[in-house]
């Protein structure tokens, strides 16, 4: 965002500029009235242009009047913020004392003690600075990294003390794209990571189409919309607010009309009847087909899918009823809707006594990790790289070679160690990561990372930066 026009001009100078421009415009309009060959009462193009110019000047005058008001409010908060908080606390104590005396006189229980209002924190102070840059002064990307926003007004001692705790750096990097941005153009997540408008908007838009990214989060902490909508386009915020109702609803009902198929919110569902807000069609909330009286008819297509799921060993999520297939890994499943369940029996995770691992899947995963780590290359004997650099081919030929039997024994030993490690550490919250260079595939989104990827130090899952912060 660029610095708006007149951002650094005083209010008095702006008022004088607008007044002079209005006088010039009025003089020109009055001088052209009645002149020319047009019929009486007909407005010329010149008069229409200057009338439009006068309306724009009036809008500018209103804008700068509003800006003076916002500056006054900002100044009042900075100067009197701690005094107002102290006054609020004193009033709350006085009201509590009065209620306590009334309760004691009526032999009633004591009223709860009111919580004291807190002084503005450094985070609140930075938010005020961001809003001042966005709505009052504008964002100046030419400022140096060491500059801070100069305060043109005095401020309260508590506020000033909080400002001195952490000096605001004007330019910081977006956590996603790495681009340096003005601090007022960055939104801070609850985990303290900061995102620019474009990356934050992408995250919220992706969460609307990929349920595994809902709710939008960073470091497992949800990013609330009300704290982020200042940095989002109004349409994105509106669409997400509507979509969030759908994504937060378990066992959703959609319009049975395939030409519509709109989501029917719980507010439009009464007993087993769901009324579509788009086409006004009625859908049965039990069988998801057209509304009907009596028992639901047998859905032969659904029964075929269920029979196939039993044959293939698939499981259904008890929250959204989606089909889930486990290829590798433990029996702890996390559905895209967020529900965690056991793949063996389908009940909520840790509510059953089923084994955490199927042995064949455990060793399949161990072999997968080993193949990835070995990268398909034979182990290099110690000292071989030095011999190559010193051009000693005869000594290279005399190096002992690993036999097929030794290779198999080493492979079995590695698989056994990896399997035991997975058996002990499969319950992982992915807190500690290490980066691995080279071309690797993310095991969550399956995108290929050409330069590097992250590997969880405990469960060995590989994830790209986007999945590490926003999906896992």
The tokens of 169 are what?
């750096």
Same domain, 142 and 267: no
Mean per-residue pLDDT, 133-144: 59
- Which of 164, 186, 203 terminates a domain? The answer is 164
Q: Evaluate if residue 239 carries a pLDDT over 60.
A: yes
The verdict on 130 and 263 lying in the same domain is: no
Cβ-Cβ contacts under 8 Å for 372 (sequence gap 6 or more): 462
pLDDT over 80 at 138, yes or no: no
pLDDT-based confidence at residue 225 (cuts at 50, 70, 90): very high
Q: Chain-wide mean pLDDT for the chain?
A: 80
Total domains in the fold of the chain = 3
Decide if 98 is inside a domain: yes
Question: Between the ranges 131-140, 276-285, 331-340, where is the mean pLDDT highest?
Answer: 276-285
Contact call for residues 116 and 92 (beta carbons, < 8 A): yes
Tokens for 355? 């084994």
- Backbone φ and ψ of 316, nearest 5°: -110, 140
How many C-beta neighbours within 10 Å does residue 281 have?
17
Q: Which of 284, 301, 330 is the last residue of a domain?
A: 284
Alpha helices in 248-358 (DSSP H): 300-312
Q: 259 with 350, same domain?
A: no
Whole-angstrom CA distances from 345 to 59, 222, 269, 313, 350 are 67, 30, 30, 11, 11
In a domain, 280, yes or no: yes
pLDDT class of 380 with cuts at 50, 70, 90: very low
Q: Which residue segment(s) compose the domain that 38 sits in? A: 1-107+117-164
Is there a contact between 341 and 333 (Cβ–Cβ < 8 Å)?
Answer: yes
In this prediction, residue 165 has a pLDDT band, given cuts at 50, 70 and 90, of very low
Looking at the structure, tell me whether residues 274 and 128 fall in a common domain. no
Instruction: Answer yes or no: do 160 and 259 share one domain.
Output: no
Query: Given a cut of 80, is residue 154 above it in pLDDT?
Result: no
Model confidence pLDDT, tens digit, residues 272-292: 899 999 999 999 998 888 998
The answer to whether residue 240 is domain-embedded is: no
274 and 143 in one domain? no
377 to 168, 370, 374, 384, 410: CA distances (angstroms): 50, 12, 6, 15, 14
The alpha carbon of 341 is separated from its chain's Cα centroid by a whole number of angstroms, namely 25
Q: What is the pLDDT of residue 164?
A: 46
Q: What is the pLDDT of residue 250?
A: 86
Q: Is residue 89 part of a domain?
A: yes
66 and 10 in a single domain? The answer is yes
**Residues contacting residue 230 through CB under 8 Å, at least 6 positions apart:** 130, 131, 134, 187
Percentage, residues of the chain above pLDDT 70: 77
The domain boundary, picked from 264, 284, 304, lies at: 284
Phi, psi of 217 (to 5 degrees): -150, 165
pLDDT of residue 462: 93
Same domain, yes or no: 145 and 270: no
| Of 322, 320, 346, residue with least CA distance to 251 | 320
Residue 203 has pLDDT above 80, yes or no: yes
Q: Are residues 257 and 352 in the same domain?
A: no
Whether 436 is covered by a domain: the verdict is no
| SS3 label, residue 348 | strand
The answer to whether position 374 is within a domain reads: no
Is residue 202, in this structure, part of any structural domain at all? no
Residue 260 pLDDT: 94
Give residue 146's pLDDT: 45
What are the C-alpha distances in Å from 245 to residues 252, 270, 320, 386, 415?
10, 17, 14, 63, 46
Q: Give the DSSP H or E segment for 462.
A: strand 462-463
User: Confidence band (pLDDT; 50, 70, 90) for 445?
Assistant: very high
Same-domain status, 160 and 264: no
Residue 131 in domain: yes
Same domain, 125 and 268: no
Clarify whether residues 260 and 346 are in a common domain. Answer: no
pLDDT digits (tens, 9 = 90+) for 33-69: 666 566 666 777 777 888 888 888 888 888 888 878 8
> Which is more confidently placed, 256 or 403?
256
User: For residue 143, what are its two tokens?
Assistant: 């400022």
Residue 133 burial by Cβ neighbours in a 10 Å radius (0-12, 13-18, 19+): buried
Structure pTM?
A: 0.66
Distance CA 343, CA 348 (A): 10
């Amino acid at each position: 965002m660029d610095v708006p026009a007149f951002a650094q001009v005083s209010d008095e100078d702006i008022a004088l500029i607008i007044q002079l421009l209005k006088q010039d415009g009025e003089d020109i309009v009055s001088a052209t009235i009645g002149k020319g060959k047009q019929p009486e009462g007909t407005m010329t193009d010149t008069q229409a242009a200057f009338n439009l110019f006068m309306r724009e000047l009036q809008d500018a005058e209103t804008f700068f009047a509003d800006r003076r008001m916002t500056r006054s409010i900002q100044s009042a908060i900075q100067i009197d913020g701690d005094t107002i908080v102290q006054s609020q606390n004193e009033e709350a104590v006085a009201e509590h004392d009065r209620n306590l005396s009334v309760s004691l006189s009526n032999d009633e229980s004591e009223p709860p003690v009111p919580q004291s209002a807190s002084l503005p924190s450094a985070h609140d102070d930075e938010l005020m600075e961001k809003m001042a840059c966005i709505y009052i002064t504008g964002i100046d990307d030419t400022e140096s990294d060491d500059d801070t926003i100069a305060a043109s007004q005095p401020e309260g001692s508590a506020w000033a003390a909080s400002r001195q705790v952490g000096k605001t750096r004007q330019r910081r990097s977006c956590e996603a794209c790495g681009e340096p941005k003005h601090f007022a153009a960055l939104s801070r997540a609850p985990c303290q990571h900061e995102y620019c408008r474009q990356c934050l908007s992408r995250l919220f838009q992706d969460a609307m189409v990929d349920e595994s990214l809902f709710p939008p989060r960073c470091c497992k902490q949800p990013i609330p919309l009300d704290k982020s909508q200042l940095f989002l386009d109004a349409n994105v915020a509106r669409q997400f607010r509507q979509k969030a109702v759908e994504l937060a609803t378990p066992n959703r009902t959609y319009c049975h009309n395939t030409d519509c198929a709109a989501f029917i919110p719980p507010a439009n569902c009464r007993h087993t009847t769901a009324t579509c807000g788009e086409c006004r069609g009625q859908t049965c909330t039990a069988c998801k087909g057209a509304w009907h009286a009596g028992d639901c008819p047998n859905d032969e297509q659904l029964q075929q899918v269920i029979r196939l799921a039993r044959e293939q060993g698939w499981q259904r999520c008890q929250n959204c009823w989606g089909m889930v297939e486990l290829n590798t890994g433990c029996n702890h499943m996390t559905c895209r809707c967020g529900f965690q369940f056991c793949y063996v029996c389908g009940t909520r995770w840790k509510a059953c006594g089923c084994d955490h691992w199927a042995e064949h899947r455990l060793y399949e995963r161990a072999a997968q990790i080993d193949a990835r780590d070995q990268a398909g290359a034979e182990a290099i004997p110690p000292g071989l790289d030095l011999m190559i650099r010193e051009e000693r081919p005869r000594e290279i030929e005399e190096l002992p070679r690993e036999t097929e039997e030794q290779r198999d024994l080493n492979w079995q030993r590695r698989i056994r160690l990896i399997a035991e490690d997975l058996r002990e550490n499969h319950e992982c919250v992915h807190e500690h990561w290490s980066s691995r260079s080279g071309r690797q595939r993310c095991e969550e989104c399956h995108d290929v990372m050409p330069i590097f990827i992250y590997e969880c130090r405990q469960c060995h899952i590989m994830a790209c930066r986007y999945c590490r912060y926003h999906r896992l």
